[in-house]
Every structure is written in C-alpha cells, then in structure tokens.
C-alpha cells in the first residue's frame, strides 16, 4: 500500500479508536461510581463538535504561539503514529514525542495568559518526572534486547517470548506512565480539577478540537506501544482485548483514587521508577 495512504489510514484509526477507548474509559469510571455515564461515542462526538464551534481568542493570548501550539501538539502525535504503527521505528523517537508533548503542555498553558493555564504550565515542568519511567523502560529494554527499534523488539519477542514475563517491573513502570496519561488520573496534575482543565482551559472551538484529536491519538499510541513492546507480536483481536482491559484497569484506578497533590504525584512516579529500574537490572543480571 502507498505510504501516504498507510499513514492517513493509521492516523484515522488512531483518532477513532483512541476516542472510542477514552469514551469507554469514561464509561467504566461512571459504572464504578454507580452512574450510568455517557455513551461510548461521546468523546468522539465532543471532539468533532469542537471543530464546528466558534473559535474565540482571549485578549491575553500570546499570538501566534497560542494557535500554533495546538497544531504542534497534533503534529507531534501524528509523528508518533508514523514512528509507531506505520514504520515500527525507534522507541527513542517516541520518547522524544512524549518529551515534546510535555513542552507543548507547558507552552499551551503559558501562551493563553490564564492563571489556570499558568499553574498547569508550571505543573507540566513538575510532571516531566513522568518521563523518567519511560526513559528507564527504553534503557532496560535496550539492555536486554540490544535494540530500540520496535520491529527489532517484536522480532526478539517472537523468539524469546513476551517481554512482560522477562521484564515485569519495566512493564509496571510503563503502565504507570499509561495511568499518568489517562483522564482523571491520580497523577494528572496538569489537568487537576482545581485548575479547571489546566492548559486546555483557554483553548476554544477548533483549537480545543485539535487538542482532543491529539489526546485520542496519544492514548491509542501509548496503549499500542505498551502492548507491542511487552506482549510481542499479537493479532488485531489481541490489541483490541488488550486495549479494552487496560481501559478497564485504569478506569477502576482513576474512579477510586483521589488526585494526588503535585509533590506526591512526582515523588510517587520517581519512587516507582527507581524501584522498578533497580529491580529490572537485578533481574537481567541474575
């Protein structure tokens, strides 16, 4: 198939599947809290709705950065789709994508001029600690497999079995990252309820549409990478079941856990990263 067509199809799949999974995640949280919850397609309908709503700009916004940052966010996650499902390239680029995502969170918050955005902007710097587990996971996987390419890791698992059995603590670290990125997460300090929706608060209409589009793709890509890197070559049905199971688990965690304050959130993530990194290295040596 033509490369451009392949990219386009994978981006559409990532957006639609990511939206449905986020809708399902919200449904799980609602059921845990004994509420009926919205339909599963609600997140997708919201995303599409924002593309047709009027876009207004705050007087305090730093133009054109305020507009450009949302486009950069979308471009960053489209890049992740190309590096991940399309090209099965290097995990280091995925790490770079996640790092830029943090920078975009920071700048989206500061460019609006809103106090909520600014607090979220500062917290985005704090929450960069969430990248530590990701970097540690990549390093540990490289130590064991000798490659950072997703295709190479899949080939390794085809011979030696799923990495989740060999590096369970690294898988736990990556899962922590997924929990961090999930909506209403105890670690989601950049979008804490006390700061409305954090860096997104002052982005309206189409700009919010771009952000929601990016969040859908980000959720799909994180789940895809986790399943691909730790569960080996799996079928489409395997991906579907795996993604649904992860949404159920994170939904339960987020529905029953209060949001941590920024210091606790960062320290919890760093503690998990340190314990799991040391444990994984010991397991590789033994």
Long-range contacts, 61-67 (Cβ 8 Å, 24+):
61/111, 61/112, 61/113, 61/202, 62/110, 62/111, 62/112, 62/113, 65/107, 65/111, 66/111, 66/112, 66/203, 66/207, 67/207
Closest approach, Cβ 240 to other proteins, in A, equals 9
Stretch that binds other proteins, among 33-41, 49-57, 132-140, 161-169 (CB under 8 A): 33-41
- Asked if 87 touches other proteins (CB under 8 A), the answer is no
- Record the tokens describing residue 124, joined without a space: 């985005």
Measure the CA–CA gap between 180 and 49, rounded to whole angstroms: 26
Measure the CA–CA gap between 224 and 181, rounded to whole angstroms: 14
- Asked if 228 touches other proteins (CB under 8 A), the answer is no
Stretch that binds other proteins, among 38-46, 52-60, 88-96, 185-193 (CB under 8 A): 38-46
Cβ closest to other proteins, residue 45 vs residue 165: 45
- Asked if 20 touches other proteins (CB under 8 A), the answer is yes
User: At residue 259, what are phi and psi to the nearest 5 degrees?
Assistant: -70, 130
Q: Which of 4, 29, 44, 124 is in the footprint of other proteins by CB under 8 A?
A: 44
- Asked if 6 touches other proteins (CB under 8 A), the answer is yes
Q: Which of 32, 40, 244, 253 is in the footprint of other proteins by CB under 8 A?
A: 40
Contacts of 61 (CB under 8 A, 6+ apart): 111, 112, 113, 202
- Asked if 279 touches other proteins (CB under 8 A), the answer is no
User: Using CB under 8 A as the criterion, which residues of the chain lie in contact with other proteins when the complex forms?
Assistant: 1, 6, 9-10, 12-13, 16-17, 20, 36-41, 44-45, 236
């Amino acid at each position: 198939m033509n490369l451009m067509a392949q990219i386009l199809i994978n981006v559409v799949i990532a957006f639609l599947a990511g939206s449905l999974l986020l809708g399902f995640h919200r449904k799980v949280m609602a059921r845990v809290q004994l509420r009926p919850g919205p339909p599963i397609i609600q997140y997708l309908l919201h995303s599409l709705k924002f593309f047709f709503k009027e876009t207004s700009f705050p007087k305090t916004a730093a133009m054109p950065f305020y507009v450009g940052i949302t486009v950069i966010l979308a471009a960053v996650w489209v890049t992740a789709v190309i590096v991940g499902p399309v090209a099965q390239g290097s995990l280091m680029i995925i790490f770079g994508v996640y790092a830029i995502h943090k920078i975009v969170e920071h700048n989206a918050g500061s460019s609006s001029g809103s106090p909520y955005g600014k607090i979220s902007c500062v917290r985005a710097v704090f929450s960069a600690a969430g990248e530590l587990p990701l970097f540690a996971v990549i390093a540990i996987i490289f130590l064991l497999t000798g490659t950072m390419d997703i295709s190479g890791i899949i080939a390794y698992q085809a011979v030696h079995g799923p990495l989740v059995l060999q590096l369970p603590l690294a898988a736990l670290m990556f899962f922590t990252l997924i929990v961090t990125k999930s909506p209403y997460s105890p670690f989601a300090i950049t979008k804490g309820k006390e700061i409305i929706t954090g860096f997104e608060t002052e982005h309206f209409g189409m700009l919010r549409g771009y952000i929601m589009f990016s969040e859908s793709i980000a959720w799909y890509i994180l789940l895809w990478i986790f399943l691909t890197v730790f569960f080996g070559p799996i079928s489409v049905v395997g991906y579907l079941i795996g993604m649904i199971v992860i949404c159920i688990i994170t939904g339960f965690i987020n529905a029953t856990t209060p949001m941590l304050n920024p210091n606790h959130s960062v320290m919890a993530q760093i503690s998990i990263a340190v314990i799991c990194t040391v444990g994984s290295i010991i397991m590789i040596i033994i």
